[in-house]
């Protein structure tokens, strides 16, 4: 079953691996990649907790709306689990 | 960066100079020995601000990030760095002379 | 060193003009005025050696190791996948392990191969920095690291591809891959038509660096000179 997720639209200062252009955007999990050290801790020389990492697929229509070159083209990015929130399938 | 408007992709390239390859090697060696993480380098690069991208070349930014992380990690001090950079300037006017090979 | 080429031995001044074997102008190095950043590199390197963090020999061998990595390694992997369906399936399952199986020392690289098909074209970018499968393909081309490529590849990949001479039909779906974290990506291009009789080495000669990033397509067989 396809799992829909939204990238949290937080904008903290500092080093985050969830690109700004994907924040607040909804996609589907393409695959789970395993757990990796949290870059938000590694970047500051701190011991890092392992965080689950996912490959999330977005449509260009979702990212760019009417400006998309071809709405059905896609973009995949790796996003850590703590930057994702689940979107129920019946949600608008 | 991602999604911003920008001009045509510049296609010209260059072969890496020796000093650039050395920066790359220092980056790989120090991170594999645990003196910093790639994330620490990325954080230092981002903290330089967007205009660093216009003002400095790729490996100029990377040596700055490597140095920043090594200072933060206490591998050497700013005083040691500054003294050494001063000494190096006195060795000669070119990279070859200053690097002594 | 790649800068030392031996095919122009009539040219005693070859470091200062002409093109390198990779087709780029030589960058002045030892004899250009010393810059602030070069002084920093020398200082950092000397301090690291004095503090016992590394040695001059270790730095030299790391440079040799990076110089030894080139798109030819990736081309060999792609050619194997074209020639051997079982290998292709292992490559798509775990590209890192499949590359190691061929003897490539790619270190801790987590590699994902994405397959181009008749109706899908893949394109790789890193919008946050310059992540690239460097342990397999060597260092990325300069354009891959530019603000223009990193900004535009995720929003207008078709316009970017057109600048690379690739005009894809509307029936082709483009999948852009932003290397945002720990994975690195390589495109497995579609095997060109008319290559049925070719050996693995002949197939590898068709595989360009750009076609493994997704900004190009493999060469057509008739455009490659017969080896030897």
Based on the fold, state whether residues C96 and C134 are members of the same structural domain: yes
List chain A residues with CB under 8 Å of B73: 45
Nearest to B39 among A22, A39, A64 (CB): A39
- Mind telling me the catalytic residues of C? 126, 129-131
Nearest to C34 among B22, B30, B98 (CB): B98
Tell me how far CA of residue C3 lies from CA of A24, C19, C22, C45, in angstroms.
48, 10, 10, 22
- Measured in angstroms, the CA of A63 and the nearest CA of chain B are apart by 9
Q: Which domains does chain B have, with CATH numbers?
A: 18-99 (1.10.472.20)
If phi > 0 it is left, if psi is from -120 to 50 it is alpha, else beta; for residue C103 that is: left
Based on the fold, state whether residues C20 and C80 are members of the same structural domain: no
pLDDT in tens, chain A (92 residues): 679 999 999 999 889 999 999 999 999 999 999 999 999 999 999 999 999 999 999 999 999 999 999 999 999 999 999 999 999 876 55
CA angle, corner C145, sides to C82 and C125, nearest 5? 45
Based on the fold, state whether residues C55 and C145 are members of the same structural domain: no
Measuring CA to CA, which residue among B10, B20, A31 is closest to residue C185? A31
Which tokens go with C189?
Answer: 């291009």
List chain B residues with CB under 8 Å of A63: 3
Based on the fold, state whether residues C216 and C147 are members of the same structural domain: yes
pTM comes to 0.89
Based on the fold, state whether residues C40 and C139 are members of the same structural domain: no
Based on the fold, state whether residues C112 and C55 are members of the same structural domain: no
Tell me if ipTM is over 0.85: yes
Chain A contact for B73 (CB, 8 A cutoff): yes
CB burial of residue C100 (10 Å; 0-12, 13-18, 19+) = middle
Topology at the third CATH level for domain A4-86: SH3 type barrels. (2.30.30)
User: What does the pLDDT look like over C184-196, one tens digit per residue?
Assistant: 999 999 999 999 9
List chain B residues with CB under 8 Å of C54: 26, 29-30, 33
**What is the total count of domains within chain C?**
2
Based on the fold, state whether residues C115 and C140 are members of the same structural domain: yes
Based on the fold, state whether residues C134 and C49 are members of the same structural domain: no
Which tokens go with B38?
Answer: 């790639």
Based on the fold, state whether residues C56 and C155 are members of the same structural domain: no
If phi > 0 it is left, if psi is from -120 to 50 it is alpha, else beta; for residue A46 that is: beta
Tell me the residues of chain B between 18 and 47 that have a Cβ less than 8 Å away from chain C: 18-19, 21-26, 28-30, 33, 35, 42, 45
User: What does the pLDDT look like over C59-92, one tens digit per residue?
Assistant: 999 999 999 999 999 999 999 999 999 999 999 9
CB contact under 8 A, C47 and B3: no
Q: Which domain holds residue C17?
A: 12-68
Based on the fold, state whether residues C64 and C83 are members of the same structural domain: no
Based on the fold, state whether residues C59 and C96 are members of the same structural domain: no
Based on the fold, state whether residues C125 and C187 are members of the same structural domain: yes
């Amino acid at each position: 079953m396809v799992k829909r997720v939204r990238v949290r639209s937080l904008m903290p200062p500092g080093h985050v691996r969830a690109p700004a252009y994907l924040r607040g955007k909804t996609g589907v999990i393409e695959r789970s990649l395993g757990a990796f050290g949290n870059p938000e801790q590694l970047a500051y020389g701190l011991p890092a907790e392992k965080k689950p990492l996912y490959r999330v697929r977005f449509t260009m229509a979702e990212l760019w709306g009417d400006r998309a070159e071809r709405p059905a083209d896609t973009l995949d990015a790796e996003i850590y689990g703590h930057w994702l929130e689940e979107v129920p399938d019946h949600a608008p | 960066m991602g999604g911003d408007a920008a001009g045509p992709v510049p296609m010209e390239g260059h072969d890496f100079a020796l000093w650039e390859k050395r920066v790359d090697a220092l980056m790989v060696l120090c991170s594999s020995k645990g003196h910093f993480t790639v994330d620490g380098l990325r954080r230092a690069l981002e903290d330089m601000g967007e205009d660093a991208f216009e003002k400095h070349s790729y490996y100029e930014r990377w040596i700055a990030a490597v140095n920043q992380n090594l200072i933060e990690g206490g591998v050497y001090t700013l005083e040691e760095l500054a003294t050494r950079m001063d000494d190096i300037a006195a060795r000669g006017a070119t990279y070859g002379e200053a690097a002594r090979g | 060193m790649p800068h030392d080429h031996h095919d122009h031995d009539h040219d005693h001044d070859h470091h200062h003009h002409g093109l390198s074997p990779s087709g780029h102008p030589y960058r002045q190095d030892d004899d250009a005025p010393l810059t602030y950043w070069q002084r920093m590199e020398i200082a950092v390197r000397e301090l690291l050696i004095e503090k016992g963090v590394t040695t001059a020999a270790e730095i030299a061998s790391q440079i040799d190791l990076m110089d030894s990595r080139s798109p030819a390694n990736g081309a060999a992997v792609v050619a194997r996948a074209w020639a051997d369906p079982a290998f292709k399936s292992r490559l798509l399952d775990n590209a890192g392990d499949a590359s190691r199986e061929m003897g490539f020392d790619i270190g801790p690289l987590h590699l994902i191969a994405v397959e181009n098909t008749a109706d899908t074209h893949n394109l790789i970018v890193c919008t946050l920095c310059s992540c690239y499968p460097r342990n397999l393909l060597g260092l990325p081309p300069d354009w891959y690291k530019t603000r223009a490529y990193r900004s535009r590849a995720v929003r207008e990949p078709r316009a970017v591809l057109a600048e690379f001479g690739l005009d894809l039909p509307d029936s082709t779906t483009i999948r852009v891959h932003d290397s945002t974290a720990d994975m690195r990506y390589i495109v497995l291009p579609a095997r060109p038509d008319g290559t049925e009789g070719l050996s693995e080495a002949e197939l590898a000669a068709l595989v360009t660096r750009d076609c493994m990033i997704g900004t190009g397509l493999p060469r057509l067989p008739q455009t490659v000179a017969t080896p030897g």
